[in-house]
């Protein structure tokens, strides 16, 4: 079968890339805002009957619920995205996320409605997870399929910038309301960033409505060659790539979640002022916004695997020194540790990830395959990462006894390095209907 490789339309490519960036930033604003709020306020407002440690674990448990729901979103939206089109599914995911996040902003707390409050919170978090589970895969595939072979890393790097941009915006919003006097932040201030989601939803939908499906998929659909059951097909034909994609993302998401959601709780518990920790997260997100497209572009020149493996090994090697910096009780070292961990090291993995995972699967099942690998790794690394870290810290007696956390982060980085080592190099491959295989005998 000849490769389907229409000449990219630069105007359509720009619209796809901008739409994917804006949409991903919006989705991650909402999704990561929840993580920050879980670390700072949800234990007090929705689990007040528990002691502080148990309340923190419960709050991070609701955080994990959203991550657990993400593969479901990837499967559902991947199925229809591979059958009907990328664009239509992305409009649905954005609307779902905006509605769920806005409703969190008006939720009654435990003091008002009792146990109903955490039940509603978990329900909306699951909806968030389903929405973001379908968002990333669609945005990544839409942009990668619209770009030329030699520039897929560069253009898909814009999607990856959406993650730290969303983190940056959510942290800034939470930092501003955290400056409210007295108990105003806990009483009502935390709701404002969630209510702003309604405004962001309007902007995102306006941008996304101008996008069309990429030619490589549109031609496949017009020829009637779409998969009947994309999930069954990808598991039957490319199970190895699903496993390797999941392993590749594990270390990246473990590091990302530890240096964002978990670090807010950890650093405040270690004695750092809450505004300082939030500002450190702002700085690290700014570094990531700059670094990610550079790493993504570099992967177009030297390959996806070398850049990604360097980031994964960097995660393992720097785990101990970075936590040593954070544990030094120095504001400057805290900022440095978080900026290096999230902005420099983790970005080497996240930058090329969209191109890598999208190129690992054929056009018939690309949305489903990329989403499934990505979202399974978010469950294992991102969803359970903070919960595992909090449990390890509690078992070690709390404080800054971070030895177990360091070991977990280092092991997660090694898992990603090994997974990408056994994957095929995908840079420059034609987006045919089949997925690549290793050619070096590994």
Q: So what's the pLDDT on residue 435? A: 58
Residues 11-46 pLDDT 10s:
888 888 888 888 888 888 887 788 778 777 877 788
> Does position 70 have pLDDT exceeding 60, yes or no?
yes
Any domain includes 282: yes
> Does position 322 have pLDDT exceeding 50, yes or no?
yes
Any domain includes 244: yes
How many structural domains compose the chain?
A: 1
Any domain includes 227: yes
- Interval 382-406 mean pLDDT: 86
Classify the C-alpha dihedral 242-245-251-257 as positive or negative. negative
Integer Cα distance of 407 and 1 in angstroms:
47
305-314, 331-340, 379-388: the lowest-pLDDT one: 379-388
Comparing 384 with 415, which gets the higher pLDDT? 415
Residues 171-183 pLDDT 10s:
888 888 888 886 8
Residues 258-281 pLDDT 10s:
988 788 888 888 889 988 988 898
Residue 218 burial by CB count (10 A; 0-12/13-18/19+): exposed, middle or buried?
middle
**Which range of residues forms the domain containing residue 320?**
10-421
Any domain includes 399: yes
Question: How does residue 127 score in pLDDT terms, banded at 50, 70 and 90?
Answer: very high
pTM of the model: 0.84
Any domain includes 157: yes
Any domain includes 428: no
- Interval 330-358 mean pLDDT: 94
Long-range contacts of 87-92 (CB under 8 A, 24+ apart): 87/142, 87/208, 87/211, 87/212, 87/213, 89/134, 89/138, 89/367, 90/19, 90/23, 90/134, 90/135, 90/138, 90/139, 90/142, 90/208, 90/211, 91/205, 91/208, 91/209, 92/134
Q: What is the CATH number of the domain that holds 74?
A: 1.20.1250.20
Write down the mean pLDDT value for the chain: 87
Residues 403-412 pLDDT 10s:
999 999 999 9
Any domain includes 205: yes
Q: So what's the pLDDT on residue 1? A: 39
Any domain includes 439: no
Q: So what's the pLDDT on residue 336? A: 95
Buried b (16+ CB within 10 A) or exposed e, 271-292: ebebeebbbbbbbbbbbbbebb
- Interval 251-262 mean pLDDT: 90
């Amino acid at each position: 079968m000849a490769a389907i490789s229409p000449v990219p339309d630069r105007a359509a490519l720009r619209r796809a890339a901008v739409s994917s960036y804006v949409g991903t930033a919006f989705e991650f604003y909402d999704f990561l805002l929840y993580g920050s709020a879980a670390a700072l306020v949800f234990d007090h407002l929705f689990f007040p009957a528990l002691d502080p440690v148990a309340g923190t674990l419960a709050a991070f448990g609701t955080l994990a619920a959203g991550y657990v729901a993400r593969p479901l979103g990837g499967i559902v939206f991947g199925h229809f995205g591979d059958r009907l089109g990328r664009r239509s599914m992305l409009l649905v995911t954005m609307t779902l996320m905006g509605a769920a996040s806005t409703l969190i902003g008006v939720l009654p707390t435990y003091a008002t409605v009792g146990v109903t409050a955490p039940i509603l919170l978990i329900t909306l978090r699951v909806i968030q997870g389903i929405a973001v589970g379908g968002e990333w895969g669609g945005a990544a595939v839409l942009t990668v399929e619209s770009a030329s072979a030699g520039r897929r890393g560069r253009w898909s790097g814009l999607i990856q910038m959406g993650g730290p941009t969303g983190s940056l915006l959510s942290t800034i919003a939470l930092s501003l309301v955290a400056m409210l006097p007295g108990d105003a932040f806990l009483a009502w201030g935390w709701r404002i960033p969630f209510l702003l989601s309604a405004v962001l939803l309007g902007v995102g939908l306006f941008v996304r409505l101008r996008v069309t499906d990429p030619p490589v998929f549109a031609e496949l659909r017009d020829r009637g060659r779409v998969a009947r059951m994309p999930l069954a097909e990808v598991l039957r034909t490319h199970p190895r790539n699903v496993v390797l994609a999941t392993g590749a993302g594990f270390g990246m998401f473990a590091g990302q979640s530890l240096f964002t959601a978990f670090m807010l709780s950890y650093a405040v518990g270690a004695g750092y002022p809450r505004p300082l920790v939030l500002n450190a997260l702002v700085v690290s997100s700014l570094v990531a916004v700059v670094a990610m497209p550079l790493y993504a572009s570099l992967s177009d020149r030297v390959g996806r695997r070398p850049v990604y493996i360097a980031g994964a090994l960097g995660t393992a090697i720097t785990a101990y020194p970075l936590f040593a910096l954070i544990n030094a009780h120095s504001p400057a070292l805290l900022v440095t540790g978080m900026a290096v961990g999230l902005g420099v090291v983790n970005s080497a993995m996240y930058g090329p990830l969209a191109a890598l995972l999208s190129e690992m699967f054929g056009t018939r099942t690309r949305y489903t395959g990329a989403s499934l690998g990505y979202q399974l790794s978010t469950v294992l690394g991102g969803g359970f990462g903070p919960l595992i870290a909090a449990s390890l810290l509690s078992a070690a007696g709390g404080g800054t006894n971070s030895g177990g956390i360091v070991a977990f982060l280092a092991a997660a980085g090694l898992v990603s390095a090994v997974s990408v080592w056994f994957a095929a190099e995908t840079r420059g491959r034609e987006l045919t209907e089949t997925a690549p295989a290793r050619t070096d005998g590994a």
